[in-house]
Amino acid sequence: MKILLTAFEPFGGESVNAAAEAVCLVRAPEGVTLRRCIVPTVFSDCIRSVRTLLETESFDAIVSVGQAAGRAAITPERIAVNIRDARIPDNAGFCPNGEPVEPDGPATYFSTLPILVLRDAIRAAGVASEISNTAGTFVCNDLMYGILHTAATEGLAARCGFIHVPCTPEQANAHTPPIASMPLDDIVKGLEAALAALQANP
């Protein structure tokens, strides 16, 4: 099994991104070839980075990981929406206000990952996990929607979806007041459990 695992660069003035830190540390389950890709935290460019990879490589699954400040659990996402709407600019300074990701695309896409299975596997590893019904409207949603749209319109066989992870305690303590967080080791453990469950449920 070959899995593409993506994460984002730091954004919003932070020097690290918990998702990228974790993705770099995740160990591939036995029998899985893992391809890691750190994408720009920029609308459209994040999607373009993955599409460029897909021109030369094929995958059985594409799992994108993003940081969700304030969440206390690892949250597989159920739905991506066809909207770009940001309260802060992306890393290129773009701050969209309600425009579509794909002008001719459907309103939503559902994750094609087995999100309930992933949630249960993360919990079984002793890490907090919940299903989230929204990937937001920032760059995380942009990438989730863009990859699912590419899969739907170009006939990709890969299962695709998104997982949000909390900030690390070091990041959280820089906020006033401090926000919810999760140790990096637990984030890595949860993601490894999710990948193992994905392999076990083709």
- Cis preceding-peptide flag for 40 (omega within 30 of 0): no
CA atoms of 155 and 151, how far apart (whole Å): 6
160 a catalytic residue: no
- Which one-letter DSSP state was computed for residue 102? S
140 a catalytic residue: yes
Which of 140, 149, 160, 192 is the catalytic position? Answer: 140
Amino acid at 168: T
Which of 46, 77, 149, 160 is the catalytic position? Answer: 77
Which of 21, 149, 160, 164 is the catalytic position? Answer: 164
Q: How far apart are the first and last CA of the chain?
A: 9
CA atoms of 102 and 142, how far apart (whole Å): 10
- Which one-letter DSSP state was computed for residue 65? E
* 103 CB-contact burial (10 Å; exposed 0-12 / middle 13-18 / buried 19+): exposed
The catalytic residue positions are 77, 140, 164
